[in-house]
């Protein structure tokens, strides 16, 4: 079944949901079925657009930084919080000569639905964090793109991911507090803003989730236990506004210590 036909199935289901007058409350959390449907739907459409030769968005190139200095004929990639696999589509388009084995670690709801709707992509696999023992023993690249901050404990999650011993690690769009201290920040976004591409959502629904921001010092202490940082980038200053002046968004490219 093609990406377009499966996307249409989701679109019809969303259309029915948003015709109900009672759907007015804010969607809470990444496990919300409506949010998951929206991300899967947009990913399937975007996947087909990329396969049809549409140009990549500049934001989609962020994932390429993880490929720096490494272009083997095959790559095992683990994408923590990779949604319905949109980074896989971008990498496969830009590097057709590489034989990817791509594993997305996601929430149970996202993993289940993405697995169902993307079953024809034989090189793309979806797991939950509780299933990481099913990953290959040798991992070339582990990516965390705007995802660690949405876990209950970003540093503990990094510790778990570090035990996978990927050869390279690319953490991007990750807010950190440059002073000591922890912030739990309530974020609200439009449903439109979730998922790849620029398709409009079927309603003006809002989505709420919590970002857990740890100190830069504590994070780097944990990161450098097992990895050498080869590149550190400030990607965005004050992503949460002037109320949080000590928080900036960072990117880290690191390699496993020998």
DSSP string covering 40-53: HHHHHHHHHHHHTT
Q: Where are the domains of the chain?
A: 3-256
CATH class as words, domain 3-256: alpha beta
**Per-residue pLDDT, 18:** 46
**Per-residue pLDDT, 21:** 44
> For residue 215, what are its two tokens?
């100190």
Question: Who's near 157: CB < 8 A, 6+ residues apart?
Answer: 80, 129, 148, 151
Cross-strand partners of 181: none
**What tens-digit pLDDT sequence spans the chain (258 residues)?**
455 565 555 444 544 444 444 444 676 777 788 888 888 888 888 899 999 888 888 788 888 888 776 667 889 999 999 999 999 999 999 999 999 999 999 999 999 999 998 988 899 999 999 999 999 999 999 999 999 999 999 999 999 999 999 999 999 999 999 999 999 999 988 887 888 877 665 566 888 989 999 999 999 999 999 999 999 999 999 999 999 999 999 999 999 998
Cross-strand partners of 174: 250
Question: Who's near 161: CB < 8 A, 6+ residues apart?
Answer: 80, 142, 144, 169
The pairing of beta strand 99-105 with beta strand 74-80: parallel
8-state DSSP, 15: H
Q: DSSP for 81-120, please give it.
A: T-TTTHHHHHHHHH-TTSEEEEEEE--HHHHHHHHHHTTT
The whole-model pTM stands at 0.84
Residue 74: burial class (beta carbons within 10 Å; 0-12, 13-18, 19+) = exposed
C-alpha 238/C-alpha 229 separation (Å) is 23
Q: Are 3 and 197 in contact (CB under 8 A)?
A: no
């Amino acid at each position: 079944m093609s990406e377009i036909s499966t996307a249409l199935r989701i679109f019809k289901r969303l259309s029915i949901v948003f015709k109900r007058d009672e759907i007015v409350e804010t969607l809470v959390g990444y496990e919300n079925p409506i949010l998951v449907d929206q991300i899967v739907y947009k990913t399937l459409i975007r996947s087909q657009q990329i396969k049809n030769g549409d140009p990549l968005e500049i934001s989609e190139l962020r994932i390429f930084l993880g490929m720096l200095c490494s272009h083997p004929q095959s790559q095992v990639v683990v994408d923590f919080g990779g949604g319905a696999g949109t980074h896989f589509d971008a990498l496969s388009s830009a590097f057709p000569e590489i034989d990817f084995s791509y594993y997305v670690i996601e929430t149970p709801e996202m993993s289940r639905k993405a697995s169902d709707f993307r079953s024809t992509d034989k090189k793309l696999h979806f797991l939950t964090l509780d299933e990481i023992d099913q990953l290959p023993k040798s991992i070339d690249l582990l990516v965390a793109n705007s995802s660690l901050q949405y876990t209950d404990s970003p540093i503990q999650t990094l510790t778990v991911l570090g035990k996978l011993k990927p050869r390279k690690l690319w953490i991007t769009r990750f807010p950190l507090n440059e002073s000591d201290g922890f912030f739990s920040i309530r974020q609200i976004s439009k449903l439109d803003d979730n998922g790849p591409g620029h398709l409009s959502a079927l309603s003006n629904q809002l989505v709420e989730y919590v970002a857990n921001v740890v100190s830069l010092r504590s994070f780097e202490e944990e990161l450098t236990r097992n990895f050498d940082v080869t590149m550190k980038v400030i990607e965005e200053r004050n992503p949460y506004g002037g109320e949080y002046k000590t928080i900036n968004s960072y990117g880290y490219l690191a390699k496993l210590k020998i």
